[in-house]
Amino acid sequence: MKFRSLLIIGLIFAMAFAVGLGAGTEEPRRGGTIVLMGHHELAGLSPDDIGPTVTEAAIFNIHNALIELDHNLNFQPVLAKSYEISPDGLTITFHLRRGVLFHDGTPFTSADVKYTYEFYGDPANAALIRGRFVSVDRIETPDDYTVVVHLKEPDATFLTLAATTRIVPKHYHMRVGQAVYRTAPIGTGPFKLVEWRPAEFTLLRAFDDHFRGRPHIDYLRIDVVPEATVRAMALEMGMADASIWPFLVEDNLRFAADPRFKTFITASLAVNHFRINTRLPQFQDKRVRQAMMYATDRQRMIDEVFAGAAVVAHTNKSPALEFWFNPYTRRYDFNPEKAKALLDEAGWRVGPDGIRVKDRIRLSFTLHVFTGDVVRMPQAELMQYFLRAVGIEMLITETPAAVVTAGMRAGTKHAQLHNWTFGSTEPCLWIKLHSRGGDNRSHWSHPRVDELLDMGRREMNLEKRRAIYWEIQEIVAEEVPFLFMMYWDWFNSWNKRVRGLPETALSGSHIFLYLMHTLWIDE
């Protein structure tokens, strides 16, 4: 940890020097293309395809929401200029901006908001984000610029989850349907779709009639480059302007110390974890899941794979979220002997090949790592070593991100390795942990957690809400529905030709999601 602290201090000085060299006062210039790089394909471009930041970088620049989260994790009014909440918390009235156009020139109105919320909230449409709208009773549109949402019960999450849902045009989405819309979206965002090749690139063009003003750049391009070293080379050679997903650790550190680049180092809110399908017979007993935690030397993983640039995770909440983070949950120090004892207690006996067996089922599973994910592959290989030492076999395969995601959601895949935010500025994780959440990829069902998640949505008092989410963290730490590893230090490095970047950011990733229309190129 001492090495990590010295490293970060040194990088801060390097960053300050880089900012001093790169500071400019010139007026924004118009033209050119900003090229971003992602590490996996963009499987779809609708509001229901959100999740991976690479995909969101396209979706969020094509669409707008009533309220959006900026780079400092503050909520900003966008399509809604203001809103009021009734004293009983059951009615939210949004006042919409006038003069907003969709990319096809059609005016944005309250009918589009009503349609979006009702479509994605309808269980019949099986949207992954439907959990955002479970509290909605009905939606009224007294005029073109007013939306009145009536709730069945107070919902403390509505503004931060439902109101941040990107709006689709009723006239177009209703005509083409969700399946087509995912491939050819039309939004109110600063950029409109030109070409989408899921595994190659997505090209967006500046929308001349965007209500906040035309973006300074002409094009925004997101290239799919799975190999981290190739992404680093592209940034070094000026062939790209930034990578949405970090490089290998040594390249992250190199760019951060290089005054030719501007690097944002921010605390991650997404837990790096192994998501396991708890419906599998291998994982149904929590003692097996606990044993896997004890078998893993997470600090060694951090030091050897990520050069110390991370902190051990103890639950689903990042310690960077001081108000919501529960520091008193169960801890899993590295203890392979305790792991073996738990597995013995659960009835898993070591077989002739060293792999444990129970009821003729081998304690074996397949882990899916995103194709080309060389950042996390060494982590997977080290985990394989740790688990093998206690009699658990973990096979590793590279699989396209969209295939992994669909398989985990359907319950046909065993496990995946990724980083995911289980509640950030809004602590509610109803969609991801509730048994009816829609994106519960662990397929974990816990009656008390379901009850607490429902309570957390209704509770408007912050202190009482914190107590609810602290209890959820305690249960997650005890039950281990997924194997929580660490929270990374997040690195986002930019080519010096890109101007208009903020001096600081609490989330470097949200620059890609919120600020792209404000940036320009200085050649």
Work out the pLDDT band at 17, boundaries 50, 70, 90: very low
Q: Residue 475: CB partners within 8 Å, gap ≥ 6? A: 446, 448, 449, 452
How far apart, in whole angstroms, are the C-alpha atoms of residue 92 and residue 144?
16
Same domain, 105 and 224: no
Answer yes or no: is pLDDT of 2 > 80: no
Helix%, strand%, coil% for the chain, nearest 5: 35, 25, 40
Based on C-alpha coordinates, what's the Rg of the chain? 23
How far apart, in whole angstroms, are the C-alpha atoms of residue 482 and residue 383?
14
Nearest 5°: phi and psi at 116? -60, -50
How far apart, in whole angstroms, are the C-alpha atoms of residue 340 and residue 399?
31
The pLDDT tens digits for 369-419 are 988 788 899 999 999 999 999 999 999 999 988 899 889 989 999 999 988
Q: Residue 507: CB partners within 8 Å, gap ≥ 6? A: 71, 72, 73, 266, 269, 490
Specify the residue for token string 């096809």.
Answer: 104
53 within domain boundaries: no
What is the structure's pLDDT at 422? 67
Same domain, 327 and 405: yes
User: CA 224 → CA 16, 24, 299, 395, distances in Å?
Assistant: 31, 31, 31, 26
Host H or E run for residue 462:
helix 462-479
Work out the pLDDT band at 1, boundaries 50, 70, 90: very low
Q: What is the average per-residue pLDDT within 206-235?
A: 96
165 and 80 Cβ atoms separated by less than 8 Å: no
CATH of the domain at 146: 3.90.76.10
Nearest 5°: phi and psi at 324? -90, -20
Task: Report helix angle 286-294 to 462-479, nearest 10.
Answer: 90
What is the structure's pLDDT at 94? 98
Same domain, 234 and 254: yes
55 within domain boundaries: no
Give ∠ CA 278-424-4 in degrees, rounded to 5. Answer: 90
Answer yes or no: is pLDDT of 19 > 60: no
CA 16 to chain centroid: 28
522 and 262 Cβ atoms separated by less than 8 Å: no
The pLDDT tens digits for 302-350 are 999 998 989 999 999 988 888 899 999 999 999 999 999 999 999 999 9
Domain that holds residue 165: 64-181
Of 37, 509, 9, which Cα lies nearest the Cα of 267? 509
Answer yes or no: is pLDDT of 97 > 70: yes
Domain count, the chain: 3
How far apart, in whole angstroms, are the C-alpha atoms of residue 394 and residue 457?
37
Answer yes or no: is pLDDT of 21 > 70: no
How far apart, in whole angstroms, are the C-alpha atoms of residue 501 and residue 519?
7
Answer yes or no: is pLDDT of 98 > 70: yes
Q: Which of 155, 181, 207 is the last residue of a domain?
A: 181
Specify the residue for token string 């709730």.
Answer: 151
510 and 69 Cβ atoms separated by less than 8 Å: yes
Answer yes or no: is pLDDT of 133 > 80: yes
Work out the pLDDT band at 492, boundaries 50, 70, 90: very high
> Strand runs (DSSP E) across 254-330, as ranges?
261-267, 271-276, 310-312
Least confident of 19-28, 250-259, 331-340: 19-28
Same domain, 311 and 391: yes
50 within domain boundaries: no
Q: What's the mean per-residue pLDDT of the chain? A: 91
Q: Which of 156, 181, 206 is the last residue of a domain?
A: 181
The pLDDT tens digits for 458-470 are 888 999 999 999 9
231 and 247 Cβ atoms separated by less than 8 Å: yes
58 within domain boundaries: no
User: CA 439 → CA 183, 274, 433, distances in Å?
Assistant: 21, 15, 8
31 within domain boundaries: yes
What is the structure's pLDDT at 373? 82
Same domain, 341 and 475: yes
Residues of the chain above pLDDT 70, percent? 94
Q: Residue 132: CB partners within 8 Å, gap ≥ 6? A: 120, 121, 157, 158, 161, 162, 165, 431
What is the structure's pLDDT at 116? 98
Q: What is the average per-residue pLDDT within 52-61?
A: 94
Answer yes or no: is pLDDT of 432 > 90: no
Same domain, 222 and 365: no
Neighbours of 156 (CB within 10 A): 21
Same domain, 11 and 149: no
Answer yes or no: is pLDDT of 24 > 90: no
> Within 164-322, where are the H helices?
170-181, 228-236, 249-257, 286-294, 298-305
Host H or E run for residue 430:
helix 430-433
Same domain, 412 and 348: yes
What is the structure's pLDDT at 423? 62
51 within domain boundaries: no
Q: Residue 87: CB partners within 8 Å, gap ≥ 6? A: none
How far apart, in whole angstroms, are the C-alpha atoms of residue 267 and residue 491?
9
Same domain, 415 and 275: yes
Q: Which two tokens stand for residue 57?
A: 């970088």
Same domain, 352 and 437: yes
59 within domain boundaries: no
pTM: 0.82
Same domain, 288 and 386: yes
Specify the residue for token string 């509001």.
Answer: 47
Answer yes or no: is pLDDT of 296 > 80: yes
What is the structure's pLDDT at 11? 42
Same domain, 296 and 255: no
What is the structure's pLDDT at 25? 45
23 within domain boundaries: yes
CATH of the domain at 322: 3.10.105.10
